[in-house]
């Protein structure tokens, strides 16, 4: 059936977790000299399939052929011996070691450890494909994109010629993404087989040669990228036609709601995380916050929510009648006692927003359990709220007694957002609300946020996908190294411009 030989053929691959069939008789071919984009919604089995190829899981059924020879992959080591290397979403590097030390870590070699020749070999790999890595640099000094590069070089060093990248661009700026893509194209041209898992359609169109679509653990189809378009691919992933434009209703009667003035925050180690940040968030408006990861977004939201010790400045909440309440230095409980209903969808959903091991009902209770004078908790109303959220937001779950850790990423986020907006907030803070979510879930979340905006809520939306920020937000505040690089109107802003502001302070600060 193939006119050229596939590097990898996966045949009839099945894998179940408990009663969930993550992969159901999947056929997939991967060719050398080609970039394959593996598409699918959350829980459609992309990562599971790739984990079986890289030796992390063992398939329940099916065969894998590498260069037409049947192989059995029992461990990541087997996979590497076959030339398969996977770059995971979460980096697996030792911070205190250098790039070289990380790259050769775990390799068996005879005789003396020869870091010099290893570094030389690493430099050769870097030159060949255009990587920008200093082999002697320590990991803790590196940016996210540099760490990712180290991960890629690591698998290349081990002789991989089939590379799998699981959502590599989720943590990168547009400029870094361009750089990564250039390197990937170089590798393709050198005859390597590359598989990239991503949710971002424009990246698929930009980079890949062929796409393969999974849905609910089944293989739906594959085709050359040039013969298809974002709309068709999305429809295949979702199973029905989807509207791809993000709505941006006009702001509803915007009035200042939260005023942040000269806010400075230091981390426990004394590093300045936010430096003299000032801005105003209006009601009935979405204020987007853009920036490279780790440049103060998290601290900013947590400072407003009362979770982050601050050094100086002020955060005022402005009520409808114009009176002000100072939020700085208060904890979440005393902020709530002021009558300020502030909802916060944090970045770390299971580690902060929810309790992974508790069921939906108990998680709904997190916000409401203090209500009433009784020493006992009211379990009925949270369960009812959980049922409502499941119904209204189409949460896929066996029931409300299921621990949230068993839900897929999108459903976890729906539960969290559902709970946070159930308290009818006046301020809604969201951090990476759609990270790791598939298209359908993402649009549900955008829709929920838009509805809050139309209700007059002041929404602060920290995002990483600039395309989305530009389409969704009324104004965008760009952070760069903890400082305000500028505030631009969302309508008509240019992606390049915002990208530049993220990496270089692009505007004069107002109050200097």
| Interface contacts to another protein, rule CB under 8 A | 16-20, 58, 60, 69-72, 74, 305, 307, 331-333, 336, 344, 346, 348, 351-358, 362, 365-367, 369-370, 374-377, 379
Rg of the chain on CA atoms, in Å: 24
Token couple for 228: 């298809």
273/475 with CB nearer another protein: 273
Q: How far is the CB of 68 from another protein (least distance, A)?
A: 12
CB of 369 to another protein, least distance (A): 6
466 contacts 498 by C-beta, under 8 angstroms: yes
Question: Residue 498 and residue 496: Cα distance in Å, rounded?
Answer: 6
The DSSP result for 435-485, as a single string, is TT--HHHHHHHHHHHHHHHHTT-EEEEE-S-HHHHHHH-SEEEEEETTEEE
Smaller CB separation from another protein, 272 or 307? 307
Residue (3 or 374) nearer to another protein, CB: 374
Task: Give me the least distance between CB of 356 and another protein, in Å please.
Answer: 7
Burial 44-74 (b: 16+ CB within 10 A, else e): bbbbbbbbbbbbbbebeebebebeeeebebe
Q: What is residue 153's DSSP assignment?
A: H
Q: Which is nearer to another protein, 298 or 483 (CB)?
A: 298
- Closer CB to another protein, 353 or 456, in the complex: 353
Q: Is the CB of 67 or the CB of 70 nearer to another protein?
A: 70
Q: How far is the CB of 54 from another protein (least distance, A)?
A: 15
Confirm if 237 and 439 have CB atoms less than 8 A apart.
Answer: yes
Distance of closest approach, residue 371 Cβ to another protein, in angstroms? 10
Minimum CB distance to another protein smaller for 231 or for 401: 401
β-pairing, 34-39 vs 458-462, is unpaired
Nearest to 307 by CA among 333, 277, 271, 326: 333
Quick one: which of 87, 111, 114 has its CA closest to 100? 114
In whole angstroms, how close is the CB of 20 to another protein at the nearest point? 8
Cβ 9 vs Cβ 64: under 8 Å: yes
Q: How far is the CB of 324 from another protein (least distance, A)?
A: 22
Residues 477, 244 contacting (CB under 8 angstroms): no
CA 349 to chain centre: 11
- How many beta carbons lie within 10 A of that of residue 451, not counting itself? 13
Structure token digits, residue 433: 């609300």
Comparing CB distances to another protein, the nearer of 416 and 470 is 416
Whole-Å CA distances, 219 to 22, 148, 332: 11, 29, 47
Report in angstroms how near the CB of residue 63 gets to another protein at its nearest: 10
Residue closer to another protein by CB (options 416, 498) is: 416
Q: To which residue do tokens 């000032």 refer? A: 278
CB of 19 to another protein, least distance (A): 4
C-beta of 75 vs 312, nearer to another protein = 75
Q: Tally the residues of the chain.
A: 512
CB of 92 to another protein, least distance (A): 21
């Amino acid at each position: 059936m193939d006119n050229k030989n596939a590097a990898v053929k996966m045949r009839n691959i099945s894998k179940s977790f408990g009663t969930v069939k993550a992969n159901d008789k999947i056929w997939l071919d991967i060719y050398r000299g080609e970039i394959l984009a593996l598409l699918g919604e959350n829980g459609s089995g992309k990562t599971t399939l790739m984990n079986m190829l890289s030796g992390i899981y063992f398939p329940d059924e099916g065969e894998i052929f590498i260069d037409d020879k049947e192989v059995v992959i029992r461990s990541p080591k087997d996979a590497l011996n076959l030339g398969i290397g996977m770059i995971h979403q979460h980096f697996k590097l030792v911070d205190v070691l250098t790039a070289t030390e990380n790259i050769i870590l775990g390799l068996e070699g005879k005789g003396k450890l020869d870091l010099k020749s290893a570094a030389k070999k690493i430099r050769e790999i870097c030159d060949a494909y255009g990587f920008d890595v200093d082999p002697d640099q320590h990991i803790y000094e590196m940016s996210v994109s540099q760490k990712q590069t180290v991960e890629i070089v690591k698998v290349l060093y081990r002789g991989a010629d089939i590379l799998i990248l699981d959502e590599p661009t989720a943590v990168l700026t547009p400029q870094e993404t361009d750089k990564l893509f250039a390197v990937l194209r170089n590798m393709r041209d050198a005859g390597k087989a590359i598989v990239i898992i991503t949710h971002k359609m424009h990246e698929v169109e930009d980079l890949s040669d062929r796409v393969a679509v999974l849905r609910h653990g089944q293989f739906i189809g594959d085709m050359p990228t040039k013969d298809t378009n974002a709309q068709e691919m999305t429809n295949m992933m979702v199973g029905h036609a989807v509207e791809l434009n993000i709505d941006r209703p006009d702001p509803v009667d915007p009035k200042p709601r939260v005023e942040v003035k000269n806010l400075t925050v230091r981390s426990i180690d004394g590093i300045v995380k936010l430096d003299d940040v000032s801005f105003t968030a209006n009601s009935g408006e979405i204020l987007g916050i853009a920036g490279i990861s780790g440049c103060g977004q998290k601290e900013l939201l947590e400072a407003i929510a009362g979770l982050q010790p601050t050094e100086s400045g002020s955060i005022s909440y402005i009520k409808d009648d114009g009176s002000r309440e100072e939020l700085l230095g208060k904890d979440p409980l005393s902020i709530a006692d002021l009558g300020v209903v502030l909802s916060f969808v944090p970045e770390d959903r299971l580690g902060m927003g929810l309790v992974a091991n508790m069921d939906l009902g108990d998680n709904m209770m997190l916000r409401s359990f203090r209500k009433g004078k009784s020493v006992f908790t009211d379990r009925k109303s949270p369960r009812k709220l959980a049922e409502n959220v499941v119904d209204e937001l189409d949460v896929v779950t066996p029931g409300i007694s299921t621990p949230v850790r068993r839900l897929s990423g999108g459903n976890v986020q729906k539960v969290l957002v559902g709970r946070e907006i159930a308290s009818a907030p006046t301020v809604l803070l969201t951090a990476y609300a759609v990270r790791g979510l598939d298209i359908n879930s993402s649009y549900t979340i955008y829709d929920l946020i838009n509805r809050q905006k139309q209700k007059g809520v002041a929404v602060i939306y920290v995002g990483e996908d600039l395309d989305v920020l530009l389409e969704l937000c009324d104004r965008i505040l760009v952070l760069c190294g903890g400082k305000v690089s500028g505030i631009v109107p969302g309508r008509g802003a240019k992606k390049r411009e915002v990208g530049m502001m993220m990496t270089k302070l692009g505007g004069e600060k107002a109050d200097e």
